[in-house]
Amino acid sequence: MQKRKLGKSNLEVSALGLGCMGMSFSYGPPKDKQEMTSVLRAAVERGITFFDTAEVYGPYLNEELVGEALFPFRGQVVIATKFAYELKPDGSPGWVRLNSRPEHIKQSVEGSLKRLRVDAIDLYYQHRVDPVVPIEDVAGAVKDLIQQGKVKHFGMSEAAAKTIRRAHAVQPVTAVQSEYSLWFREPEKEVLPTLEELGIGFVPYSPLGKGFLTGKIDETTTFDSSDFRNTVPRFTPENRKANQALVDLLQKIAQRKTATPAQIALAWLLAQKACIVPIPGTTKLHRLEENIGAAAVELTTDDLREIESAASKITVQGARYPEHIEQMSGR
């Protein structure tokens, strides 16, 4: 597996990471712990060194799983986690409110360190921008944690370009994580140019469109009642039918390259900029291997031009999140 550096930082990770959320949260009930431990360890054996989790996934379950599974590989892997939510006192799924007050961040980090079984968090993201806490205070709190040796790098998720600039002026931001794929290209307008200018890495989550770009989902697919895609406008049966054009495009290129639509979607992201490290999530070993195979797919300038030309004629239907979640992005 090739390596990439996140921006100008010295944080080197595998060109593809592994998003761990779906192992415990959002995509149906939590998966079997032993099976997920096997997938996580198989990822390390196959060259993946970058793993993504968060306090809110579960809550807590995902960090515990990742911490236990990757404990034998301490020092060989980079684990990213996130703060920003005030969780329910009884530990049930969901959250009470956003809370990025410095005292809350300093509480959150202690729990994450314990669950991840590490002495320092490699990359600590603010999960969503808190509109009532100045971003300078958040960056300052993380700066303190870095000085104390509890955190190594500061990251932000779904933040607007101007907010990233303000934070970066207080504590250099190593990476920004936001949704980015052929079916959600909003970051290209302001965020990506800002990151390039400031020397910040970019970590696209949902690089396979929450599974849609794999070609394994169509308008007839049904999801488990606890799968959050049931609430996503883009995943209504009629929108899935309309958005099939994008999958057809990936399928066409995939056939020519002897690859899969998922591999083309990931290879397209890797070809955009050298500082991009996608984190596709999966709970299945054969999908993990398929995703890793994307790093070996070479898209030529002509391939990229063809994808760009065809994609520009496709209008993706449906919002990517329910409105109350969408409002938390791009602040």
Domains of the chain: 3-326 (3.20.20.100)
Mean pLDDT (whole number) for 68-74: 97
The answer to whether 95 and 125 have CB atoms below 8 angstroms apart is no
> Chain-wide mean pLDDT for the chain?
97
pLDDT of residue 305: 98
Res 310 pLDDT > 90: yes
The answer to whether 119 and 113 have CB atoms below 8 angstroms apart is yes
pLDDT of residue 286: 98
47 vs 248: CA distance, rounded Å = 30
Res 94 pLDDT > 90: no
98 vs 272: CA distance, rounded Å = 32
Res 31 pLDDT > 90: yes
The proportion of the chain whose per-residue pLDDT surpasses 70, expressed as a percent, equals: 100
The answer to whether 12 and 3 have CB atoms below 8 angstroms apart is yes
131 vs 302: CA distance, rounded Å = 43
The answer to whether 62 and 54 have CB atoms below 8 angstroms apart is yes
**Enzyme catalytic residues:** 57
| 150-168 confidence digits (pLDDT tens) | 999 999 999 999 999 999 9
**Which band of pLDDT confidence, cut at 50, 70 and 90, is reported for residue 175?**
very high
Pinpoint the alpha helices (H) of 118-172. Answer: 135-147, 161-170
Res 224 pLDDT > 90: yes
pLDDT of residue 41: 98
The CB-based long-range contact list for 69-73 (8 Å cut-off, 24+ gap) reads 69/36, 69/37, 69/40, 69/41, 70/40, 70/41, 70/44, 71/117, 72/41, 73/41, 73/44
Res 311 pLDDT > 90: yes
pTM > 0.85: yes
**Which band of pLDDT confidence, cut at 50, 70 and 90, is reported for residue 43?**
very high
259 vs 261: CA distance, rounded Å = 7
Is 98 in a helix, a strand, or coil?
strand
Res 267 pLDDT > 90: yes
Mean pLDDT (whole number) for 219-238: 96
228 vs 235: CA distance, rounded Å = 10
Res 46 pLDDT > 90: yes
Compute how many other C-beta atoms are within 10 angstroms of the C-beta atom of residue 64. Answer: 17
pLDDT of residue 101: 98
pLDDT of residue 303: 97
Mean pLDDT (whole number) for 93-112: 96
Question: Please, which residues bridge with residue 87 across strands?
Answer: 95
